[in-house]
Chain A
Amino acid sequence: AQSVSQHNHHVILSEAASLELGCNYSYGGTVNLFWYVQYPGQHLQLLLKYFSGDPLVKGIKGFEAEFIKSKFSFNLRKPSVQWSDTAEYFCAVNRDQAGTALIFGKGTTLSVSS
């Protein structure tokens, strides 16, 4: 069965700390990878995406993610978090073919204290 695993359920950091959220998937073949963010009371928004090329992708608000094909991973990173980064983060994957849909991980709640 296809799956997306996010290792951390809840991460608590102080402002300026570095962040890394893990994501692994279990598909073979070519995949498209995404991180979405959901701020409190809002709907999901795209943070960044990878579909080909440079495995290190940069997104909005200083976030980046690295695709490591051999590890089936797409971890999200940010060198220095801010209080406004408090949100829920979702990794999502789909196979690179028409007619498929995006499958999400269970999400990681990030709480940043000022």
Chain B
Amino acid sequence: NAGVTQTPKFRVLKTGQSMTLLCAQDMNHEYMYWYRQDPGMGLRLIHYSVGEGTTAKGEVPDGYNVSRLKKQNFLLGLESAAPSQTSVYFCASSVTGGHINSPLHFGNGTRLTVT
């Protein structure tokens, strides 16, 4: 039981390049999330999904797109990377929303640098 797995762990991009971060969970969780963590800013929600085929915007969605074609996977895309997107990205999942007795399970993070 791997929990929440993020790939890749590290990535360096040049401004304007595109990439996709993959998050996979094997716990059959309905909800999945992408957060970014920046020093002094805490974790900010980018996008989330309440089930297969659904997505919703979080606090800082601009510059990112997501897809949840399969229940176990949640992809985060950067179409044209900018230095402001240099961050550590965390994926998380939970059984349900509302979070009653349903804590978030986090992946180990992806460290992205955009030069």
Contact = CB atoms under 8 A, between A and B. Distances in A.
**Interface class of chain B by DSSP:** loop
Interface string A84-114: 0000001000101111111111110000000
B13 interface: no
B8 to A, nearest CB: 16
Interface string B90-110: 101000111111011011110
A101 B43 contact: no
A7 interface: no
Given A32-B100, A49-B103, A99-B50, A90 B43 contact: yes
B104 A9 contact: no
Given A90-B42, A101-B45, A106-B40, A34 B103 contact: yes
Interface string B34-65: 01000011111100101000001011000000
A105 B100 CA distance: 19
B33 interface: yes
Interface of B: 31, 33, 35, 40-45, 48, 50, 56, 58-59, 90, 92, 96-101, 103-104, 106-109
10 contacts: A44-B43, A44-B92, A51-B99, A90-B42, A97-B98, A98-B97, A101-B31, A102-B45, A104-B43, A106-B41
Closest 6 CB pairs of A and B: A106-B42, A104-B43, A43-B106, A46-B103, A107-B42, A101-B48
